[in-house]
Structure 1
Amino acid sequence: MTETELKRLIEKFIKGTATREEEQLLEALEEEVCEKYRRQTFADTRHRQNIKSSIYKKVVSGIHRKRKSRKWLYVTASIVLLCGIIGYTFMNTRNQITTIVNNSSDVKAITLDDGTRVILNTSSALSYNEKNYNRKDRKVKLQGEAFFDVISNRSSPFVVTAHGLQTKVLGTKFNVGSQSDRVTVALVEGSVRLEGKGGKQLLKPNQKAVYDIKAQHLQIKPFEKGREMAWMTRDFNFENTPLKKVTALLEERFNVNIRFAAPEIGEKKITAHFEGVSMESILASITLGGGLEYEYVTEKEILIHKTDERMK
């Protein structure tokens, strides 16, 4: 993450306009910076030792403070910015940790040194040791969601870590989604082995693993490829589909909560195809022709109601 990207994220955080995923990115970065300062061995200069000690104390103090107010968010953001400007670049020089953050409204395509392709979803981040990658190992950490098209290398497995769940592969195509309460892995092609505190599991094509972080429980179930990968192309196809199923997909893809003013609204059938359009465009299209309207109740909550029937 560049200093400019970090500042932009912090500004949204302080103003209260950051999404939950962006807040999680900032918290993850804070924890990463804190951990690096704790482990880092600086050169033997009094100046660097003083900087390390001072920043680390501030970070630890911020972490253990109760996270209940925007004031705390401001303090945390300032600490992370301080670490980013003063020390993070220095540590990256030593450890060569590269963090790619996608704060744009579109997906971001990444090609790693071994040729492995990664499609990074919005509000997501991928980190790896640039010095070691494709030399000593092929390990990456994910915050958010990404699709991986891994180049085969039997002598060096590709490993994705997300919230303690490791996905190990030799060469395959799969999707990983990392949220605050769960991690999902959907296998499109090849095979992957999952390892976590809940045990080990071999995943087969067209199988999806859902890992409950709190319960440390792993569930295996089938999945629809088109639905699972829709976030990459923003491609949605509905054929006589109940509106409640349409909104369930939009909730999953865009991390929002959509509810109906009346239960019967969710039973309305929709036939439509959307490609590369925003969620607002989809909502406008599916409500306009059915005598419906949608409105934002909060930043992440949407209400669909009959035309001219406002929320009471």
Structure 2
Amino acid sequence: MSFQPPITKELLFAYFAGHATVLQEQLIEKWVEETPDNEELFYSCLHEWELKHPQYEADTEAGIDAFNRKIALGMQEPVPADTFENRPGEQQVNWRNWFVAASVVFVLISGAWLFKDLWFYKNYTTTLSEVSTITLEDGSKVVLNTSSMLQVPRFGFGQNSRKVHLEGEAYFSIVHTPDNKKFVISTAAGLQVE
């Protein structure tokens, strides 16, 4: 049989205040689970401790005054903003909201920038020992060799630009446009073929 020190009100108050040691915390948690009487005593001490150490003190007079004004106005006009002017932490909440909004905008812009290739380009790829034939929007045909990738603009290909990016090998059969637009192939090595 092991010796267990008694659980006192002072020890429980230290636990509620966060001043108990790890061993004391484990002892109290085990003690609470032993019997319903211990649990009841635990919560009554917690209630007593919370009454002596309130976490939030409401300004009841300002709240009652605002409520009475609202009733007197017939709930037709809004309560003036200066009613809650002296609430602690209100300015911090506004800054927190701005910070959250700015963070969301930053994440959206960063995501758009990082994934712009997925949105603005179609990617055609082939795996090892696979050959694929692709017909582009302007009618040009591309035979993409094994382990290759062709990147084609999603919007305006043929009207604004006929520039593609190739990594690997491909055979191109280019259709000439009435306005003689150049077909440009840029490679991973930095070369551009017209």
- Larger helix proportion of the pair: 2
What band does the TM-score fall into relative to the shorter chain?
Answer: 0.3 to 0.5
Report 1 or 2 for greater relative contact order, CA contacts < 8 Å, sequence distance ≥ 6: 2
- Larger strand proportion of the pair: 1
TM-score of the superposition, structure 1-length normalised? 0.27
Larger Rg: 2
